[in-house]
A and B are shown apart, each in its own frame.
Chain A
Amino acid sequence: MSGHSNWPEWIYIGVVVALMVWVGAEAWEAERLVEHVPADAETIIVTGQQWFWTFEHEDGTKEIGELHVEVGKAYKFEIISKDVNHSFNIHDYVVLMDAIPGRVNTVWFAPTDVGTHDIQCREYCGLIHYNMRGTLIVEAPSS
């Protein structure tokens, strides 16, 4: 060991630790808020299978590859898979949740603007994984 004093290293470690505590606390707080599903959220069952998405609304209507939702409502996705792992992703709304056979995973979102967004699969699922894509269509409120 050399005889020099180590205070610069201690200060540096202190700064790194403080930064990590800050990142951790912010992340904890943000995640806690986004995980809170609103009570009036409408449920949509999302089924992933090689290599397309199916959506089933609360009223029983089914869609394949396209998902129609309305501005101003909250939606809760119940995500399942019929074969291998997939991951349901609407990148523009930071919606990401794996579809795993044998499990039901949930995630929610509330569209804010009328428009269309890409839906894709973000977990490797075989041959056509690259093209397991769909479209989210956000419409103006019907009533």
Chain B
Amino acid sequence: MVLELQKPRPVWQIMFSTHHTDVGLLYLITSLAFLFLGGTLALAIRAELFLPGAQIIGDAMTFNRIFTVHGTTLIFLFIIPFASSVGNYYVPIMVRYKDMAYPKLNAIAFWMIPPAGALIWLGFADFTWYATPPYSIISAPGPAADMWIFGLKILGISSVLGAINFIVTILKCKHPDMSIGQVPLLAWSFLSSSLIILVAIPTFAAALLMLLTDRLGVSGFFNPAMGGDPIAYAHLFWFTFHPEVYVLVIPAIGMMYEIIPRFSRKPIYSYNSGVFAFVLLSIVGFSSWAHHMYATGMSFTEKTVFMVGTLAAVPASAMHVFNFVATMWNGRIKFSTPMMWCVGGIALFFSAGAGGVANAAMPLDFTTHDTYWVVGHFHLFVMGTIAFGSIGMLYYMFPYVTGRMYNETMGKVHFAMSFIGTVLVFFTQHVLGLYGMPRRVFDYPPIPEWIAMNQIATVGAMIIGISMAIFLANIIYSSGKGKLANTEDPFGVGGKYYYPFEAKNPHHD
């Protein structure tokens, strides 16, 4: 890989590089920057909701902008670029090819992200990450709304370009001696999520254009005042974004497949069922989108169809959980920091899935829909599963990126605090939802149960916030001053790893 800090080279050389480990590094730094930016917004939201009445955010408009940009940032500017970073570092090595299939395209896909991020942050739209019409058409203030639309448009194109690159690299560039059945599960995760992207994203790309022309007043696709229908947007959006949740989660599961067997010092329990579950999820994931729309007035038949489609995807997720547990079973497990994040992530993945089943059961969804329950549900995935897997992966890659070890104690404290914080925030939010508190509210009436649970959630968020500060200090300090890593076996678990530093970066020799 790069070992940038040991063999420094000019920043512009990395920025203009098309080599996969350099692009990986750019993705890594960008995604972490947005993790901290988006996380700060989360703390602002939680501080505001600590008590009824205005606390730190003076007005509802600012609050609405903050939660919109928070969600948009962490999904599109942290989770996805972070996965691309891991894919860039590892996929070419895993399929034994010299680079990504199209290196220039790879660099272009990365460089679309900073301008998109700038549009989203400079605009600071307020219409939620769903860009809800007709509000987004007739009410949402510009130019923020338009900047958000363009930002998302760019990110969509970037995703599609990245997906094409991963698919071609894996299917066409893998070493001739290697069969598809020997491709490691981490690379399989990129293959499946990339295929989902290609099928899912175009629908939303179209919807975004329609939203834009609706805003300009030249069309009325989603605007009832011009004969349009907001429900059409709901279908287009969720046809993309239910599958997209698997785009987010599958690479994180792939990262766990890289880490868990290594630290259990056992081969994966069943490679085949890992592959099968990835492929199954990518197909069945397309049969459930309207489970987000039970309360829009769908017929009983429609609701039933999408409930069945949703429940049908659950066994595929459950298979991964089984595979991980069976791999750890009787293993000589070493609980280094990366392993702790993965094991914690699996526990939260399981709880998140259980809550999802409740949402899917249509009569129960009328209790949970658009309450804090849903916020708790998907954060157990995006934070509890995906961020946990990603942060575990970051610690795992750290010696290869920097040539040094992070501080293990700080890594474990980071994990312990984040785990406790995540349980406090998002389990509590499930209960808060059962008490009926709607999501996306700047303020709430002084109902004692609501106040108590909001306070628990805020305390949990602050614990996560502190742990993230420890994390930041750890990676900054250790990348310069940490003890040198044994790059052959940085974690002392024996065996061979995938060694990103073996990638032949033309700038290095």
Which residues on A are within 8 Å of B, measured CB to CB? Answer: 1-2, 4, 6, 8-9, 12-13, 16-17, 20-21, 23-24, 26-28, 30-32, 34-35, 50, 83-85, 87, 89, 91-92, 94-98, 100-103, 105-106, 118, 120-131, 133
Residues of B within 8 A of A105 (CB): 296-297
Q: Are B441 and A129 closer than 8 Å at their CB atoms?
A: yes
Interface pick from B3-11, B93-101, B128-136, B410-418: B128-136
Residues of A within 8 A of B231 (CB): 100, 103
> How extensive is the interface on chain B, given as a class?
35 or more
Candidate in A31, A103, A123, A124 with the most chain B CB atoms within 10 angstroms? A124
Least distance between A30 CB and chain B CB atoms (Å)? 4
Residues of A within 8 A of B127 (CB): 124
Given contacts A17-B315, A121-B438, contact A31 B297 (CB under 8 A): no
A sample of 9 inter-chain contacts (CB < 8 A) reads A8-B326, A9-B273, A13-B322, A27-B362, A94-B366, A122-B439, A126-B64, A126-B135, A131-B443
Alpha-carbon distance A112/B225, docked complex (angstroms): 39
Identify which of B61, B312, B435 contacts A127 (C-beta below 8 A). Answer: B61
Residues of B within 8 A of A92 (CB): 436
Alpha-carbon distance A17/B280, docked complex (angstroms): 14
Alpha-carbon distance A83/B139, docked complex (angstroms): 9
B interface, by DSSP: helix, strand, loop or mixed? Answer: helix
Chain A residue at minimal CB-CB distance from B358: A23
Least distance between B135 CB and chain A CB atoms (Å)? 4
Q: Are B367 and A94 closer than 8 Å at their CB atoms?
A: yes
Q: Are B60 and A127 closer than 8 Å at their CB atoms?
A: yes
| B residues 134-169 touching A (CB-CB < 8 Å) | 134-135, 138-140
Which residues on B are within 8 Å of A, measured CB to CB? Answer: 60-61, 64, 126-128, 132-135, 138-140, 224-225, 228-231, 267, 269-273, 295-297, 300, 303-304, 307-308, 311-312, 314-315, 318-319, 322-323, 326, 357, 360-364, 366-367, 369-371, 435-436, 438-445
Given contacts A30-B363, A34-B363, contact A89 B438 (CB under 8 A): yes
Residues of B within 8 A of A94 (CB): 363, 366-367
Least distance between A61 CB and chain B CB atoms (Å)? 26
Chain A residue at minimal CB-CB distance from B434: A91
Q: Are A23 and B441 closer than 8 Å at their CB atoms?
A: no
Chain A residue at minimal CB-CB distance from B362: A31
Residues of B within 8 A of A106 (CB): 297
Chain A residue at minimal CB-CB distance from B438: A122
A interface, by DSSP: helix, strand, loop or mixed? Answer: mixed
Q: Are A102 and B224 closer than 8 Å at their CB atoms?
A: yes
Q: Are A27 and B300 closer than 8 Å at their CB atoms?
A: no
Alpha-carbon distance A27/B305, docked complex (angstroms): 12
Least distance between B79 CB and chain A CB atoms (Å)? 22
Residues of A within 8 A of B444 (CB): 130
Alpha-carbon distance A94/B314, docked complex (angstroms): 26
